[in-house]
Amino acid sequence: MSILEYLYQNPPKSREFLERKIKIESPKTLLKGVNGSGKSSLILNHLSKFEKFLYIDLDDVRSFGLEQNLDEFIKANGINAVAIENVKEPPILPNCDNIIVSTDLNSLHIDGLDELEIFGLDYEEFILFYRKNYDAKTLFSHFLNRGNLAFSPFLSEFEIGAFLQKHIKASKGELNAKILANIANYIHQPLNIFKIYKSLKSHMKLSKDKLYQNILDLKDQNIIKTIYNIDENSNLKRVYFSDFALKTALNLHKDPKAIIANMVFCELLKLKKEIKYSNYLDFIIPDMNLGILVLPFLPFELAVLKAKKLGNYCNELGLKRVDIISNSQSQMVKIDKITYNIMPFWQWAVWLH
């Protein structure tokens, strides 16, 4: 039996599919997303709609060289859908009516395929996957500890840290794991690559060029993301993980506000809008005239006081709304032309979409 025949006769089995907020709708799709975001589950669910399909994972060493006989095999077996996962460079596309290609690389573009991006679970999706009848605050606590990768709801909580470490080391290598552990110190802060270089250089051989290239690769692979200061004269960029649980998994330093800010950032990604920051506001969405303050431990009265102090600044930016993420009960306050929505994360995340 040929390898193509074996793959055709033995497609991978996936766990029960749980609906996501995105779907594969184009017959020819390039699906992009970080490893662990749920690309494979989405693809396998889509393939199940076809009578005859072929699934190929290029991370499987048995798949090497399969493209040479692919068109002939597709025609001979009447296959009407093909998926090729973990692509790193533009492939020669097979002759098939329905093609799904997946990659973790932002930089990959393939002519003839419509691009679709998948992120980790948002808070509503996590609740759907987790299936626990807890109160909102307890569910938030579990989300905070587990992170947003698609497999996180199915792990025991004590497994998360070790699992993520092994996942990163296995998929990205020992050096990148150490780089990410250092980047964890800068979550929700401007990224200082030179300090990371000095820290790593003190106990290993590493060139600046190698470090810079690896960080660029990690960005391309969607592991880390950066946003610019809204001040065009500033070159500073804040850094975040695409899975906010990585900070705890890779770093012993506790910083709950930074983790919650990373959670907020991950929710904002679903808006598919440009995200900025300033010295006064944690996040700014210019297209929505929206500012966001992350003040998880500040009482309602102090949150309102801080908002009032920022009134002139927010007006200068043309903001119409400021969301304040706090543990206090949901409240709405209008000051001059700006509406301030003060609410806990678990209400804000559901209300945002």
For the chain, domains (ranges, CATH) are: 3-117 (3.40.50), 271-353 (no CATH)
Report d(CA 155, CA 143) in Å as an integer: 12
Lowest mean pLDDT among 21-30, 190-199, 222-231, 330-339: 330-339
| High-pLDDT (> 70) share of the chain, % | 99
pLDDT at residue 149 greater than cutoff 90: yes
Q: Taking residues 283-292, report their average pLDDT.
A: 97
pLDDT in tens, 85-131: 999 999 889 999 999 999 999 999 999 999 999 999 999 999 999 98
On whether the CB atoms of residues 79 and 64 are closer than 8 A, the answer is no
Which residue is listed with tokens 């592991």? 223
Q: Taking residues 158-163, report their average pLDDT.
A: 87
Which residue is listed with tokens 């990690």? 218
* Number of Cβ atoms within 10 Å of the Cβ of 174: 10
Q: Taking residues 247-269, report their average pLDDT.
A: 93
Report d(CA 16, CA 4) in Å as an integer: 26
- For residue 276, what is the DSSP state? E
Q: How far apart are the first and last CA of the chain?
A: 49
Report d(CA 315, CA 263) in Å as an integer: 26
Q: What's the pLDDT score for residue 214?
A: 97
Q: What's the pLDDT score for residue 203?
A: 87
Backbone angles phi, psi at 346, to 5 degrees: -65, -25
Q: What's the pLDDT score for residue 61?
A: 79
Output the average pLDDT for the chain. Answer: 92
- Single-letter code of the amino acid located at 298: L
Q: What's the pLDDT score for residue 353?
A: 63
Q: What's the pLDDT score for residue 143?
A: 95
Q: What's the pLDDT score for residue 45?
A: 93
